[in-house]
Structure 1
Amino acid sequence: MGAIVAGAGLSASAQENAEVENRRLDTITVTSTKREQTLQDVPVAVSVVSEDAIEKAQIMDINDLQTLVPSLAFQQSQNSSNTTFSIRGFGNGANNVGIEPSVGVFIDGVYRSRAAAQISDLPNLQRVEVLRGPQSTLFGKNASAGVISIVTREPQFESQGSVEGTVGNYNSVRLRGDVTGPLSETVAFSLAANMNTRDGYGENLVTGSKLNDRDRWGVRGELLFVPNDDLKIRLIADYDEIDELCCISGNLVNGPTAGAIAVSGGQLVPEDPFSYDTFVNFDPTNELENSGISLQVDYDLGFANLTSISAQRSSEDLSNIDGDFTSTSLLGQNIVFRDIDTFTQELRLTSTATDSKVDWMVGAYYFDETVDSANDLTFGDGFRPFLDAVTGGGAALAGLEGFVGVPAGTLGAAGQGMSDVFLQDNTAWSVFGTLDIHLSDRLTATVGINYTEDEKDAIGEALSTDVLSGLDLVQLGYTATLASLLQQNGVNISDPTSVGPFIQNNPAVYAQLQQAAVGVAQGAQNPFGVLAPIQFVPPFLNYPNAIESGSTSDSDTSYTLRLAYDVSDNINVYGSYATGFKSSSWNLSRNSLPFAEDYTPSSTIVDPVTQQVVFQAVSSPITDAGLNLPNLTTGTRFAGPEEAEVFELGVKAKFENFAINLAVFDQTIEGFQSNVFIGAGFALSNAGKQSSEGIEFDATWRPTEALTLTFAGTFLDPIYDSFPNSPSGDLSGTRPSGIPKTNTSLNGNYDFEFAGMDAFVRADWARTSDSPWADDPNTDTAVRAAGYKRSSDVVSASFGFVTDNDIAITLWARNLLDEQYNMIAFPTTVQTGSFNGWPNQPRTYGISVRKNF
């Protein structure tokens, strides 16, 4: 009997141990410190999205990740390539090809420098690591806010593959396939391809086209050489295309210019962005081509691993949008073309000793990139009627045309506009190193350093054919005022026989008239001053020139200091201080303007009768060099570097079926590169200081073998500590736009048997709290008054099972409850008082069928 009882006890204990083992959380491997470590052991704030989560949550591209990683956010505006990623509220890079993102994106260790090269659908995803906070010590280029590191599966020496097809609403069709296997005992290959098509969920009511569609495809091939245990060589080549009609802009507020649109024969959609309907004269197009090749070599030297990653990438981006967002042809074509070629080379040496008191890494990074950008902006045939309507019926423009002697209808005529070309060469290099000093079995001190030099040479040339914007209204106002004053004295300014004797006989009186005319011309009484706000594209001062070199040269030393302590085998804590850096960003757009220290806006006024200079333009380097142009103003040629720092305390705990990671931080960026739309263009500037204190956590609990729950959150207190020179005035002490104070996500996955088959059901909920619509308080006030919210609750779900013949079937829905919110709000182009926004994607759903072999 005792043996039976003992045996029963052992059986119960074994069963209990088996249940505990089945509930044990998986070990997650990361390479965020460029060493292979477990997520639990790495003392860095990093979120990991696993291959299993990617498949079950139907993560197709980098944009979808924000539903699983609360610290990560993205915003998309007028086309697919104008996408901005942010981490902890810090991020930029859209709407100006000269601005490199503050969040660095690396795919298999290769830097993707612009959003156009980051947003494609990616096959064979293994995991995605999101590193939060400055990462400049280890990553060689522009990681002042964080890093998104995407890791794909290597070729395998066992033959295998898969094919997957998906159909969904809006006639969605997705096809994916991959195959891998050996070519010999030392060489393996993989080949993957994907296609993603879908009708648009919006409609252009002018052309009848469906907008915000999907039409993209890509191929990727790899070779893996493993000639011996010490050497591994991985060669990757990829190519992808995007050809889409994107993106819809909805009317949030139709302001006082709506009547002028109607007078011009145009139509506006009522203030309902979620009708997904729009009136535009032509469809917004976006065509992207990306290609690249990379070679990674890993060699075990015995005492260390040598890694070399070489890559050459090319990206082309062609877009055209109706920038006035109405069916009135205010603006005609707005064609933008960008061509970016990038070469990168990284070398690093990583120690491999397992019993050493010091682990070390040293490396070097080289970056060489050329950027070509061109933009053609033209006025449409509705532009002049619109100008007539907003200036009081056309008398002002007609009067000016008569005064300057140009044919009626010249000012604001269709076909006028601006063409610009910008070129940039960027060369950067850095050296870096880290030391992990094991002070005891449980305490490790880390010191990391990175020295970077970054040089950029830029050329900007633009030609404005806008006759109105080329007119010096101050000079014309002087001439008109002087003529009026002379006429009051019985003198006709156009009659030399009348004006000459008057000046000769009354020099003092004429001098008084001149000074009076100068005062009127430079003030609010200028008879043509009402036209100044519609001089949208004045002449452009090309650079480099005698004053502006067109070059920047930056250098920086970034470093990391960290202490990590293993409280127990299950709990680790760390404290760190790190700095980050992003180099200067050139304003490669028609809104590029001289700095205030180089130019003081003013006009030289010449008396049309005597040819005497009656007012000399204010002295400045550009004026003194003879480079002054009519209506030239000041702004920025480039934004200076960003310098980031973060203080962080973290704890990581992992038990049998529960894990939690927690970080408390105080992060700042000095010189944050802000690029704000102001109605007729973008204004690039450096914020003095932007900071964010916050708490982040992510927790995973497996209460049973079948159920896994994940809860994550980010809680921020963002502020502009100093931003006195913003386009909207002094924003110091205000909250930056688009940064919610709270982001949370809850994910649940339940595995079970369904009709004798392995099955799962998964749900994902992501909540984003409210945030300011724009840094400009007038925009935020107007949009809020119209009742629009920026908070959102997005729920997605999926259900899947695997048949006996290894066919996986998944039914899925993203934004299941059809939550509606706008991603961005902005002042409508050339329509004062009106505001537009970019609405989110509505509910999508479908079924995916996958066969593994």
Structure 2
Amino acid sequence: MPARNNLKAIPAALAAAGFAASVSLPALGQGAGMLEEVIVTAAKRQQTLQEIPIAVSVVSAEIIEQSQVLDIKDLQTLVPSLRVTQLQGSAQTNFIIRGFGNGANNPGIEPSVGVFVDGVYRSRVGSALADLPKLERVEVLRGPQSTLFGKNASAGVINVVTAKPDLAGYSGSVSATLGNYNQKIVKGNFTGPISDNVAFSVSGSMNQRDGYYDNLELETEQNEINRWNLRGQLLWNPSDRMEVRLIADSDGIDEQCCGVANIVNGPTGAVVQALGGNLVPEAPFAYEGFYDFDPQNRIDTQGLSMQIDYDFDSFTLTSITAMRKLEQFDLGDVDYTSARLVTPDAANQRDTEIDTFTQELRLTSATDGPLQWMVGAFYFTEELTTEGSFGYGDQFRSYADFLTQAGTGGALNLAIIEAIYGVPAGLSFAEGQGFPSESYALDDDTLSLFAQVDFDLTEAMTLTVGANYTESDKQASANLVSTDVFATLPFGGTPFAGLQGLQFLPPYLNYPNSVEDGKSNDDDITYTVRLAYDLTQNINVYGGVSTGFKASSWNMSRDARPLASDLAALGAAGLLVPNITAGTRFAGPEESTVFELGLKAEFDTVSVNVAVFNQEIEGFQSNIFNGVGFNLANAGKQSTDGMELDVTWVPIDGLRVGFAATWL
């Protein structure tokens, strides 16, 4: 089949280097400008951006609006260390920070970059792709953050903070935007008090745009936008000590996405054309292709969360409880040509449902003094089910017959092979054969305990020490039904061994079974040690080491195969299926480490942040598409070195100039 590549461009972050620049002119004033103080909660306590010794980029609501950033994917235009790759579907998206990231295309993998919205963990990218609601800010924490965020933050964190309801008075806004490709965006929000201590807010948006990728076969368009979101909040302040925030949200995406490009027209391209199919060969930026049916992407996600903060005399108690549901459906023409090689009604379709519950409790010191501390616990439980199918189209037998004859110099065809092996004539690669039923399930229970202490060694020097213990228990299962008769034929060790290349859908060995229990249990202790020193009132430097951890990920695809070490026991138990090969059912944990030096300087009109780092992940969970499924395995060690620069300048009132760059 022809090679293909993602059509989406990545304008703001490159593999080797990236930069972003912005100029904001809301209203030009007359006097000298002054930098505003930026408050962040990257360390789960309120601190200013300049005093927190962490490499973090903060994008305010004002900058997001002026830059026309609509969703998390667009943040890469403002944060060069963040790269977002969207692949062949709306939800097949990877968030990558400092070169690290994974999770697309395989629901059994949680991303290495954790996404949190108002303190609630979004366990899959699909639940974080909706257009952004009314915001306060977005924080992008670079490097492993497992000490405080615990759950799968081995590469970094995107922390979205939305605006609270307003107790002071009523306000709201409505906006409408028109763009090319018939784009229409409507957004609105309203907030105000219900009583002296209760306030509410509601917001919603609708975003639609025609596609810009032409399907030449059906004269349709792909890469469209069709999404909406609704969000409601209640804020209750029963006393000066207590605040309760209740949030309910619902988001939807229903799109035909995404067109791909042919970058290498391989030898099977001619076979596709001989069958009457077509493709656009070797044109990465043609923005057009031939498909016998359009892809479908539907994502619906809903959530309910409650945050309670209570101020005691010497500490603050915070509780965040949340329930979320993600429903995701994907269907695609996976041969990416107009040849009917896969069936439209069962063409690599996948229907996934994920239910999560999270509970976080933490105590944070609230007194002055040389010692500031935080302790907490985080519990996560998730139930995932995903069902799918794969079926050959009505032209696949002819396609396979071409390859059979080419591979045997014209001496054999499928009819001869069927006669030799006693297969009913015409059954090999018949329409609908393949995997008519695929069913996977994954249950995850995770507990994290964390603590962090900031101790002022002197008036100018602060030592930070933090630790996290995480334990994750997972139970996975797979039940697949194979009807591909050709894949069961014993070609190995015969004159027909060359035909094994066409047995790319061998029968699947379901699990758990008497040899494979489908369970993984992982635990790890991560830590942070950091020293910060105030050179002057305006300049401080810091240095330290942090580690991160992500638990095992299970391969929820038809290419999950038993370990080579289990084949003998499976054979002894009589469980082996025809033509089975070894592989992996899951990839073990990721463990990351970063060494970092940083400088933060802030004056009246200019701020400069610099970070130099060396970061590596041991046991990186590599998820590689092999044409029919995904090979998931630990790919040894991955490492990066780099430097990040972030400069903000306010020369006069109303004019803000920002520059950010990453060398990786």
TM-score normalised by the chain length of structure 2: 0.93
Q: 2:80 is matched by which residue type in structure 1?
A: P
Q: Show the counterpart of 2:349.
A: 335
Q: Show the counterpart of 2:460.
A: 442
Contact 1:587–1:637 (Cα < 8 Å) also in 2: yes
Q: Show the counterpart of 1:382.
A: 395
Structure 1: stretches of 5+ with no match in the other structure:
1-18, 475-520, 600-619, 717-853
Q: Show the counterpart of 2:578.
A: 630
Q: 2:439 is matched by which residue type in structure 1?
A: V
Q: 2:601 is matched by which residue type in structure 1?
A: A
Aligned match for 1:557, one of 525, 543, 546: 525
Contact 2:558–2:630 (Cα < 8 Å) also in 1: no
Q: Show the counterpart of 2:475.
A: 457
Once the two structures are superposed, what CA deviation does each residue of 1:403-452 show, in whole Å capped at 9, x if it has no partner? 12223221111100112110010000011111111111111111101111
Q: Show the counterpart of 1:399.
A: 416
Q: How many residues align?
A: 628
Residue 171 of structure 2 is aligned to residue 160 of structure 1: yes
Q: Show the counterpart of 2:90.
A: 80
Q: Show the counterpart of 1:60.
A: 70
Once the two structures are superposed, what CA deviation does each residue of 1:316-348 show, in whole Å capped at 9, x if it has no partner? 000100000011011222210100000000000
Q: Show the counterpart of 2:602.
A: 654
Q: 2:618 is matched by which residue type in structure 1?
A: E
Once the two structures are superposed, what CA deviation does each residue of 1:238-292 show, in whole Å capped at 9, x if it has no partner? 0011100001011112121111111222111233232321111111000110000
Alpha-carbon shift at residue 528 of structure 1 (Å): 1.6
Q: Show the counterpart of 1:831.
A: none
Q: 1:677 is matched by which residue type in structure 2?
A: F
The farther-off stretch of 261-270 and 425-434 is: 261-270
Aligned match for 1:362, one of 375, 388, 393: 375
Contact 2:88–2:258 (Cα < 8 Å) also in 1: yes
Q: Show the counterpart of 2:13.
A: none
Percent identity between matched residues is: 53
Contact 1:391–1:530 (Cα < 8 Å) also in 2: no
Q: Show the counterpart of 2:544.
A: 576
CA distance in structure 1 between the partners assigned to 2:499 and 2:286 by the alignment: 36
Matches within 5 A, 1:22-33: 22-33=32-43
Matches within 5 A, 1:393-542: 395-418=412-435, 419-474=437-492, 521=493, 526-542=494-510
Matches within 5 A, 1:76-115: 76-115=86-125
CA distance in structure 1 between the partners assigned to 2:635 and 2:32 by the alignment: 52
Q: 1:461 is matched by which residue type in structure 2?
A: N
Once the two structures are superposed, what CA deviation does each residue of 1:195-229 show, in whole Å capped at 9, x if it has no partner? 00111111212222211111111100000001111
Looking at both structures, which has the greater relative contact order when contacts are Cα pairs under 8 Å and sequence separation is at least 6?
Answer: 2
Residue 281 of structure 2 is aligned to residue 263 of structure 1: no
Matches within 5 A, 1:834-845: none
Contact 1:434–1:446 (Cα < 8 Å) also in 2: yes
Residue 569 of structure 2 is aligned to residue 621 of structure 1: yes
Q: 1:197 is matched by which residue type in structure 2?
A: Q
Alpha-carbon shift at residue 706 of structure 1 (Å): 4.4
Please state whether the residue corresponding to 1:560 is helix, strand or coil.
strand
Alpha-carbon shift at residue 471 of structure 1 (Å): 1.8
CA distance in structure 1 between the partners assigned to 2:398 and 2:265 by the alignment: 19
Once the two structures are superposed, what CA deviation does each residue of 1:581-610 show, in whole Å capped at 9, x if it has no partner? 0000001111100112112xxxxxxxxxxx
CA distance in structure 2 between the partners assigned to 1:22 and 1:139 by the alignment: 40
CA distance in structure 1 between the partners assigned to 2:515 and 2:38 by the alignment: 55
CA distance in structure 2 between the partners assigned to 1:21 and 1:448 by the alignment: 44
Contact 1:396–1:528 (Cα < 8 Å) also in 2: no
Aligned match for 1:321, one of 310, 332, 349: 332
Alpha-carbon shift at residue 696 of structure 1 (Å): 1.0
CA distance in structure 2 between the partners assigned to 1:250 and 1:436 by the alignment: 51
Contact 2:203–2:232 (Cα < 8 Å) also in 1: yes
Please state whether the residue corresponding to 2:500 is helix, strand or coil.
helix
Q: 2:366 is matched by which residue type in structure 1?
A: T
Contact 1:215–1:243 (Cα < 8 Å) also in 2: yes
Q: Show the counterpart of 1:217.
A: 228
The list of structure 1 runs, each at least 4 consecutive aligned residues, that deviate by more than 4 angstroms after superposition, is none
Contact 2:34–2:652 (Cα < 8 Å) also in 1: no
Q: Show the counterpart of 1:143.
A: 153
Q: Show the counterpart of 1:608.
A: none
Matches within 5 A, 1:178-197: 178-197=189-208
Structure 2: stretches of 5+ with no match in the other structure:
1-28
CA distance in structure 1 between the partners assigned to 2:662 and 2:570 by the alignment: 48
Once the two structures are superposed, what CA deviation does each residue of 1:473-493 show, in whole Å capped at 9, x if it has no partner? 23xxxxxxxxxxxxxxxxxxx
Alpha-carbon shift at residue 704 of structure 1 (Å): 3.2
Contact 1:307–1:348 (Cα < 8 Å) also in 2: yes
Matches within 5 A, 1:227-376: 227-332=238-343, 333-354=347-368, 356-376=369-389
CA distance in structure 1 between the partners assigned to 2:513 and 2:364 by the alignment: 47
Alpha-carbon shift at residue 690 of structure 1 (Å): 0.9
Please state whether the residue corresponding to 2:612 is helix, strand or coil.
strand
Please state whether the residue corresponding to 1:299 is helix, strand or coil.
strand
Q: Which of the two has greater helix per residue?
A: 1
Contact 2:608–2:647 (Cα < 8 Å) also in 1: yes
Alpha-carbon shift at residue 20 of structure 1 (Å): 10
Q: Show the counterpart of 1:127.
A: 137
CA distance in structure 2 between the partners assigned to 1:667 and 1:374 by the alignment: 37
Q: 1:434 to 1:670 in 2, by over 3 A?
A: same
Contact 1:263–1:389 (Cα < 8 Å) also in 2: no
The farther-off stretch of 230-239 and 204-213 is: 204-213
Please state whether the residue corresponding to 1:473 is helix, strand or coil.
coil
CA distance in structure 1 between the partners assigned to 2:488 and 2:423 by the alignment: 13
CA distance in structure 1 between the partners assigned to 2:31 and 2:355 by the alignment: 51
Q: 1:232 is matched by which residue type in structure 2?
A: E
Q: Show the counterpart of 1:805.
A: none
Matches within 5 A, 1:826-841: none
CA distance in structure 2 between the partners assigned to 1:706 and 1:194 by the alignment: 28
CA distance in structure 2 between the partners assigned to 1:274 and 1:161 by the alignment: 42
Q: 2:456 is matched by which residue type in structure 1?
A: H
CA distance in structure 1 between the partners assigned to 2:48 and 2:431 by the alignment: 62
CA distance in structure 2 between the partners assigned to 1:246 and 1:124 by the alignment: 26
Please state whether the residue corresponding to 2:565 is helix, strand or coil.
coil
Aligned match for 1:595, one of 563, 571, 574: 563
Q: 1:635 is matched by which residue type in structure 2?
A: G
Contact 2:324–2:355 (Cα < 8 Å) also in 1: yes
Aligned match for 1:687, one of 595, 618, 635: 635
Alpha-carbon shift at residue 367 of structure 1 (Å): 0.2
Q: Show the counterpart of 1:664.
A: 612
Contact 1:243–1:287 (Cα < 8 Å) also in 2: yes
Alpha-carbon shift at residue 133 of structure 1 (Å): 0.5
CA distance in structure 2 between the partners assigned to 1:309 and 1:109 by the alignment: 7
Aligned match for 1:49, one of 34, 59, 62: 59
Q: 1:151 is matched by which residue type in structure 2?
A: V
CA distance in structure 1 between the partners assigned to 2:600 and 2:573 by the alignment: 62
CA distance in structure 1 between the partners assigned to 2:66 and 2:458 by the alignment: 42
TM-score normalised by the chain length of structure 1: 0.73
